[in-house]
Structure 1
Amino acid sequence: MFTRRNRGRHGYPLLGLLALAVLCAVALPLINALVIYPAYTKIMVGTFEDAARRLAVLTIPPSIKHTRLGPAVLDTPRFLADVYRLETDFGLLRVRVISPKGKILYSTDTAEIDSFESGPIFKDMVSKGRRYARLGVMRSEPVRGKTEAIDTVETFVPLMRGSDFLGAFELVFDVTGPKRELERFNLYATVGSFVISFALLGVVLLLIRQEAAKEHSRLQADKLREDVEQITRHDIKTPLLGVLNGITFLENFTALDTEQKELLDDMRHAANTGMDLISRSLDLYKMETGAYEYAPADVNILSVCRRVADDLSDLARQRSVAVEVSFGDGPLQRDAALPLSVEENLFYAVLANLVKNGIEASGADDTVSMRVTADGEFSVAVHNPAPVPEAVRAHFFDKYATAGKRTGTGLGTYSARLMVEVMGGRIDMDSSEEGGTTVTVALPL
């Protein structure tokens, strides 16, 4: 259950990269079309607008610079010559000189002269002293019956004396060349963003495919391992059952002396231990996959703690280690009782595993203690004076994590965590060079 869930997290970074690649594939072209291209277009229009302002100021003769534009302007020496120079030297498509009342005093198109400019742009913006520029399109004169589209920037430049409107110039620039270059640049940028985005998307999809293949292989390997383990459990149980049946037959139908009976008892104990281990292994597998059916019942939990200490007393004596059990403020009394709803075999397996680990980690004349409390919740803290190696502490409850015991499998603390979580409790470990190691199991009362 835990292992598979953790494996699924390995794909999160790749899924994040995939989302980023898709976002880039969509966002980069949109940003280019909606932000970058309009921004460059605005810069281009602004450049021609500023050029129009400078040209208009330079075209007005100093003698009439601060007077209202009227018919007399056309009689000013060099004015018409300067306007004509504007048209020819700067490639202007149209030049118009407009009086404050909107009368067209001069126009490249002579038919417009003496007519009036009364559009909203002139009335609402230009006549109030605000410059205006816009991108547009004009049709060229027909050549062999065909006309061409010409990209333009039309600008209105108001002439002001303080807040007094003196008139305006309208200049129309041919921007076909710059606009086509801008469009070419925009095309290259869009294509480039597509190429980069889809290249990133392709790389991420390739990585996801490789990760998916690895995950598929891992799942197949896990399934094969699970099948082999189940077959192995079944195959091992069969000869063990045969051994137990043979022992029962010898006890019932054979004359045995005392030594032979003791030998058969040892054989029965070994066979039963093997059966228990196989059953416990199957239970752990069910816990991992979430298929274990927890069946709690009321038990005297203090009695189970005493039984763990008694059952491990021989191992403790062999290693010259003392085992102490306390409840509340003093040693655990034989007649003490505390009912708790748990599955007795599970709790016994957890506590026996932790105490056995503590005994095996301790040195001669050390003490392993079990401190039992029942204040809001039931907890038992198993302490031994030996610290857990620092490299193992962060992975103490992980599968196959071991502190270097020659015969260790790295499954003891892992199975303890599984069983405690099945019982609805929690298990924690604290270890240091000065304080030794304490593993605490807490269960709800």
Structure 2
Amino acid sequence: METSSATNQRATGLLLVISLIVAIAFPVYNLAFLYPSFDELLKNNTEDEALRVANYLSSMLPVTLGKINKNDISEGFIKNLQTMQVEFKIIELKIYAPDGEVLYSSDAEDIGDVNKNTYFQQIVAKGQKYTKVVPKETKSLENKIIKLDVVETYIPVMKDNRFVGAFEIYYDITQKKALLSSLVSRSSIMVIILSIIFMAMSLYSGPHCQDHFLVDLRYSPLRGYLVC
């Protein structure tokens, strides 16, 4: 039979192992599951906001000739776009014709370009919204290097169940994403610190504390792991 000292050592070892597992598992969980969940939530919320903006704009946009065309985009409508862009912190906004031609863009250089990408022709043109989170310093769906963290959303405009054009809206989520990252990082650091404190207490606690712990374990399912 093991001596009391040997049993105490096994108890301390078990506590150290549990503390180490917690210290490793919680940050891994944050990175693998919690942070992606926050990222997806941020994406969905931003997509919903883009949808509300697009629906409002399309309600003000007269659609003639059965589709959105350049004549539908008046100077008054452009002023409304520019106002909403400031109020809703939209960093870029475009209006597409059904064939993918850019009829309006907050970046004038893009006007006249044609979006021939698969996601536009096979998803947006079929009446489905399409959203992607673009991390800063990476390429957007249009192959542009983006300097900020953004959510890029395409919202189709439908009239009588027909695709008549689309809006593309870029939202800056840099600050929101940084706050979420900070929150996840702080929670992970706190757990690691608490685990280290717990391990230190296990190592340096006196025999009296260990004896109380062992008395409790005599009547627990863990007894078999501590006593031969």
- TM category (shorter chain) comes to 0.7 to 0.9
Q: Which amino acid aligns with 2:69?
A: G
| Equivalent in the alignment of 1:102 | 100
Residues 204, 68 of structure 1: CA spacing in aligned structure 2 closer, same or farther, 3 A cutoff? farther
| Equivalent in the alignment of 1:74 | 73
| Equivalent in the alignment of 1:191 | 189
In 2, Cα distance between equivalents of 1:7 and 1:188: 38
In 2, Cα distance between equivalents of 1:177 and 1:13: 46
Q: Deviations over 1:336-380 (max 9, x none)?
A: xxxxxxxxxxxxxxxxxxxxxxxxxxxxxxxxxxxxxxxxxxxxx
Q: How many residues align?
A: 201
Q: Deviations over 1:371-410 (max 9, x none)?
A: xxxxxxxxxxxxxxxxxxxxxxxxxxxxxxxxxxxxxxxx
1:24 alignment partner, one of 22, 28, 31 = 22
In 2, Cα distance between equivalents of 1:126 and 1:202: 57
Tell me if the contact between 1:98 and 1:104 (Cα under 8 Å) persists in the aligned partners: yes
Q: Which amino acid aligns with 2:86?
A: T
Q: How far off its partner does 1:186 sit?
A: 2.4
Tell me if the contact between 1:131 and 1:155 (Cα under 8 Å) persists in the aligned partners: yes
Q: How far off its partner does 1:24 sit?
A: 0.5
Please give the secondary structure, in 1, of the residue aligned with 2:149. strand
Q: How far off its partner does 1:157 sit?
A: 1.3
Tell me if the contact between 2:61 and 2:72 (Cα under 8 Å) persists in the aligned partners: no
Matched, 1:111 2:109: yes
In 1, Cα distance between equivalents of 2:34 and 2:14: 27
Residues 118, 19 of structure 1: CA spacing in aligned structure 2 closer, same or farther, 3 A cutoff? same
Tell me if the contact between 2:154 and 2:168 (Cα under 8 Å) persists in the aligned partners: yes
Please give the secondary structure, in 2, of the residue aligned with 1:150. coil
Q: How far off its partner does 1:116 sit?
A: 0.4
| 1:222-371 matched pairs, under 5 angstroms | none
Q: Which amino acid aligns with 1:80?
A: I
Tell me if the contact between 1:138 and 1:150 (Cα under 8 Å) persists in the aligned partners: yes
| Equivalent in the alignment of 1:269 | none
Q: Which amino acid aligns with 1:73?
A: D
Please give the secondary structure, in 1, of the residue aligned with 2:148. strand
Q: Deviations over 1:243-283 (max 9, x none)?
A: xxxxxxxxxxxxxxxxxxxxxxxxxxxxxxxxxxxxxxxxx
Q: How far off its partner does 1:126 sit?
A: 1.9
Q: Deviations over 1:159-195 (max 9, x none)?
A: 2346532221111112222222222222212211221
Q: How far off its partner does 1:131 sit?
A: 2.0
| Equivalent in the alignment of 1:35 | 33
In 2, Cα distance between equivalents of 1:122 and 1:160: 14
Q: How far off its partner does 1:21 sit?
A: 1.0
Matched, 1:168 2:162: no
In 2, Cα distance between equivalents of 1:59 and 1:6: 77
| Equivalent in the alignment of 2:118 | 120
Q: Deviations over 1:82-131 (max 9, x none)?
A: 21222222221110011221111111111211210112322232223222
| Equivalent in the alignment of 1:428 | none
Tell me if the contact between 1:32 and 1:190 (Cα under 8 Å) persists in the aligned partners: yes
In 2, Cα distance between equivalents of 1:85 and 1:57: 16
Tell me if the contact between 1:96 and 1:105 (Cα under 8 Å) persists in the aligned partners: yes
In 1, Cα distance between equivalents of 2:3 and 2:135: 63
Tell me if the contact between 1:60 and 1:79 (Cα under 8 Å) persists in the aligned partners: no
In 2, Cα distance between equivalents of 1:192 and 1:4: 37
In 1, Cα distance between equivalents of 2:3 and 2:207: 19
In 2, Cα distance between equivalents of 1:189 and 1:205: 25
Q: Deviations over 1:294-316 (max 9, x none)?
A: xxxxxxxxxxxxxxxxxxxxxxx
Larger radius of gyration: 1
TM-score (norm 1): 0.40
TM-score (norm 2): 0.74
In 2, Cα distance between equivalents of 1:179 and 1:170: 21
| Equivalent in the alignment of 1:180 | 178
Tell me if the contact between 2:123 and 2:130 (Cα under 8 Å) persists in the aligned partners: yes
Residues 15, 168 of structure 1: CA spacing in aligned structure 2 closer, same or farther, 3 A cutoff? same
In 1, Cα distance between equivalents of 2:198 and 2:37: 27
Identity of aligned residues (%): 22
Residues 132, 26 of structure 1: CA spacing in aligned structure 2 closer, same or farther, 3 A cutoff? same
Which structure 2 segments of 5+ residues have no match? 138-145, 212-228
| Equivalent in the alignment of 1:132 | 130
Residues 4, 12 of structure 1: CA spacing in aligned structure 2 closer, same or farther, 3 A cutoff? closer
